[in-house]
Amino acid sequence: MKCPICKVGSTREGLTTANVNIKKYILICKDVPALICNHCGEKYFTNEITKQLHDITQETLSNIIDEEVDKIWEKKGLNQEKLEMVLNTHINRE
Ligand SMILES: [Zn+2]
């Protein structure tokens, strides 16, 4: 199809990387089938792929991620409050 964004290129089937938001995290999914514009590089995901990404990430991974991150934070003696302090410090420096 003709790319709706740049209106110059046309899309080809290919594999790309998709960033999916899960709560406050971003999951990077590799090799996701998509239509990719050969001019501007814009990626288009079919409804089916979008639904699959959603199902896998939101319904399957969100609980696991919460548990795993809690464990890691516990090990490092971190909590939400400390992390926010670290992040604020970092932002203030810029
Ligand atoms: Zn384009």
Give residue 63's pLDDT: 75
CA 11 / ligand 1 centre spacing (Å)? 7
The region, left, alpha or beta by phi > 0 then psi within -120 to 50, assigned to residue 6 is alpha
CB atoms within 10 A of CB 78: 14
Domain locations along the chain: 11-93
CA 92 / ligand 1 centre spacing (Å)? 37
d(CA 87, CA 73): 15
Give residue 94's pLDDT: 46
The region, left, alpha or beta by phi > 0 then psi within -120 to 50, assigned to residue 67 is alpha
Which of these CATH numbers, 3.30.420, 1.20.1630, 1.10.1240, 3.10.20, describes 11-93?
Answer: 3.10.20
d(CA 60, CA 76): 26
CA 36 / ligand 1 centre spacing (Å)? 8
The tens place of each residue's pLDDT in the chain, 94 residues long, gives: 899 999 999 999 999 999 888 777 788 889 999 999 999 999 999 999 999 888 888 777 777 777 777 788 788 787 767 766 666 665 554 4
